[in-house]
Structure 1
Amino acid sequence: MIKRFLLGSAAVLVVATGARAADAVVVAEPEPVEYVRVCDAYGAGFFYIPGTETCLQISGYIRYQMGSENYKGGVIDPATGEVSGSSPDFLTYGAYPDEEGWIKETRARVDIDARSETEWGTLRGRIRFQGSWGGAAGANPFSDGPVSTDQAYIDLGGFRAGYSESAWVESQKGGVAAYGSHSWGSMSYGDAQRHQLGYSFGSAEGFAATISLEDDALEGDGWIPDVVGVLSYNQAWGAVWAKFGWEDSINNVPDDIAVASESGWGAQVGMQWNIPNAPGSSLRLLGFYSDSDTRFGVIAPISALTGGNGAAEWSALASYLHQFNEKFAASVGGQYFSDFYAGGSDETLGLSGYELEVAMAWTPVTNFEIRTEVYYDKIEELDGTVSGFLRFTRNF
């Protein structure tokens, strides 16, 4: 009896062991994982796309803004040149005449920047997507904001092709030779974005020269682009620069329309001086000249009344920024305009004007800014206007 029990138990153990062996699970070795590597060749925020030598940065911001202005509307009589009413405001360029209340805007922006090194220099591709809700006159503040491609261009060494800020505004290697005053609004400096083919020689830390052929949307002779040239010199003490721009049609119409087409040009010189022993503080001085109502001028708010580019024969801008500490900065600026042009012509109106601004920016915590800017605009024989905004921005 005991012998039969022992033999039976042994048989059960053999069967059980065989069953477990048949059901054994083989675990596959995990595939090696390539972790994201930091790319420090182009500054903070870049990382290598896994499996490539291309560095990528994703950045942008979300902002909410409350603005207001007291523009009551203005008129320029085309027959007599007489003016009445008030000066168009800087914040909206006269988009809300005789309206009262808060002008709200929310904006989301994403920048994608890809770079790699080649035997021809750095190859870069940049895309900016942006959507805004509210802000523009007539926009429905309660509908979803349309997202658009605000900028997209390719750089290879000094070559640039795509859609971005005009070289008149910001050239590829111009350093601080860009925009106007220190504020976000930057006062009146000829703001424009254009399709362009350009080449920049030199460095943003030294001498640079840029030539840019820019799209004019088939205005004038549709085969002839606008032309921009920039010379700049950047050093630790600041920078100096000179710019020239030419377009073959200042009245923004094709040659085949029965309107006399005129070419026009403008020039700009500027300097920035970084204040010694005051890190982040600087003084900027800019001078503008234009021979007509060309876009290569200042593009002042008076364009709301003239229907043109808002150019003046000449203009001078001065701005000072003081960085009180790492969290708070403030700037003041002023700009004078001598003899505005009638829209789309080389005839002056005999009107001059000026703008004043105050801007303050507080960064209570990293990547969060609270900013306010206030502007005052005054054109001869028109009442002055005040405009401004309070803005909250989360950068990333």
Structure 2
Amino acid sequence: MQKTAFAIFAAAAVAASSASAADLGRPAPAAVDYVKVCDAYGEGFFYIPGSQTCLKIGGFVRAEYRVWKMDTDFAGLYGLNNGIKSPTSNDATTRIRAQLTLDTRTNTEFGLLRSFTEAWYTVDSGRATPSVDLWKAYLQLGGLTAGRAQSFFDFYTGDHYASVFETAHSDSQVNLFAYTVSLGNGVSATLSLEDQTTGNASRRAETLQVYGGNKYPDLVGNLAIAQAWGSAQVMAVAHNNQPYDSNRDKWGWAAGAGVTVKLPMIAEGDSATLQAAYGKGAVSYVAPDSVWTYDFYKQPNGSLDQTVAWSVAGGFTHNWNAKWSTSATVSYLDVDGASLKVFALNKGADSKQVDAGVNLVYAPVAGLTIGAEVEYKYVNFKITDRIKSDGMVGLLRVQRNF
């Protein structure tokens, strides 16, 4: 019995020894490379394993419910008969949108290397399948910005949601190539070449075959300041007007200035903004959605008559307490339309436009907001006769940011 037990023990020992010897010839398991927090650029960043690049993933999920009230001819005049709203479509509509952002940053010998991507996925009433928009996609190194980004002309784009009716300002994502110089104390200057054919706010709205090919990119410049009291900017653009069937082009331009002042003496996070812009042959830099307005019209003798427009916009945000806030924006737009002599009308497509919006937003927990908003647009449009029309939309928005 003892001999049997000894034999079993010896056999087990030999087997264990053989196994250990075999293990010595195998590579050791790779060490687990845990994700590490990157606190160099603020909250939410982490190191991509195996690299010195920091990544932040963000975005939102939004549900929006709208009710409409407008004059009978407003939708046709304003161009809202695109499935979102028209006199014969629903008076109640919905929009569901998801946003995804990727922000990567790496320190290099040439400065901070950054890339940023923002995509929108949207389903609107009357559309069975989602639309996908590459809203932004750009890279930065030092003062260089290349890709699809916010136009460097833009400063104030409103305080309220402006989900349907945008107030009078420039607010466009465009393909661009820009360089920014920091002058110290929060002051910077930027020069940007921007592709006028790529903006989400139409730089070249087309129905009557007025515009020709894109001959030159827009040249945008700004001087900006951002400090503890708030921010301000002056901006200008040279915008080429190229007619459809002629090489007789002409340069248009626009200029603007805006200031935002923080108001912590009223409540933390409060602010007020005022902005004005003026343009000739560059209407979309003054307002994003003016009615049926072109930068220019070609006359029978081949010359170009350019549209002149100016706008002023202002708004504020007030935090009632930690959970409730209100934002409002109002703007006025005046358009002296280019002459339509080519159609023997001998008058311009003049218009005046008022936009306003106000909301009340509740934030019950961090990252979640529930907001109710009313948006209003009034248009006084003159071409063959004078049309006065207005529209109003009320909406409820529920949004989770992450």
Instruction: Give the TM-score, by structure 2 length.
Output: 0.79
Q: Does 1:32 align with 2:31?
A: yes
Q: Comparing 357-366 with 22-31, which one deviates more in the overlay?
A: 22-31
Q: Does 1:194 align with 2:186?
A: no
| Counterpart contact for 2:118–2:135, Cα < 8 Å | yes
| Counterpart contact for 2:316–2:329, Cα < 8 Å | yes
Aligned to 1:325: 321
Aligned to 1:352: 352
Q: Alignment partner for residue 333 of structure 2, among 334, 337, 348?
A: 337
Q: What is the Cα deviation at residue 210 of structure 1?
A: 0.8
Aligned to 1:105: 95
| Counterpart contact for 1:88–1:385, Cα < 8 Å | no
Aligned to 2:230: 238
| Counterpart contact for 1:341–1:348, Cα < 8 Å | yes
Q: Alignment partner for residue 263 of structure 1, among 230, 251, 256?
A: 251
| Counterpart contact for 2:69–2:391, Cα < 8 Å | yes
Q: Quick one: distance in 2 between partners of 1:394 and 1:300?
A: 28
Q: What is the Cα deviation at residue 212 of structure 1?
A: 0.6
AA aligned to 1:369 is T
Deviations 1:271-313 (A, max 9, x none): 111114121111111111111353221123524xx4779x862
CA RMSD of aligned residues (A): 3.3
For structure 2, list consecutive stretches of 5 or more residues without a partner in the other structure.
199-210, 297-306, 342-346, 381-386
Q: What is the Cα deviation at residue 377 of structure 1?
A: 1.2
Distance 1:147 1:240, change over 3 A: closer
Q: Quick one: distance in 2 between partners of 1:341 and 1:93?
A: 25
Q: How many residues align?
A: 361
Structure ranking higher in strand proportion? 2
Q: Quick one: distance in 1 between partners of 2:313 and 2:394?
A: 19
| Counterpart contact for 1:313–1:340, Cα < 8 Å | yes
| Counterpart contact for 2:316–2:327, Cα < 8 Å | yes
Name the SS of the counterpart of 1:50 in structure 2: coil
Q: Does 1:183 align with 2:160?
A: yes
Distance 1:205 1:361, change over 3 A: farther
For structure 1, list consecutive stretches of 5 or more residues without a partner in the other structure.
76-84, 170-177
Q: Does 1:166 align with 2:151?
A: yes
Q: Alignment partner for residue 193 of structure 2, among 213, 231, 254?
A: 213
Distance 1:364 1:16, change over 3 A: closer
Q: Comparing 34-43 with 156-165, which one deviates more in the overlay?
A: 34-43
Identity %: 27
Q: Quick one: distance in 2 between partners of 1:214 and 1:16?
A: 78
Distance 1:6 1:370, change over 3 A: closer
| Counterpart contact for 2:309–2:336, Cα < 8 Å | yes
Q: What is the Cα deviation at residue 10 of structure 1?
A: 4.6
Q: Comparing 151-160 with 61-70, which one deviates more in the overlay?
A: 61-70
Q: Quick one: distance in 2 between partners of 1:32 and 1:20?
A: 26
AA aligned to 1:115 is R
| Counterpart contact for 1:73–1:87, Cα < 8 Å | no
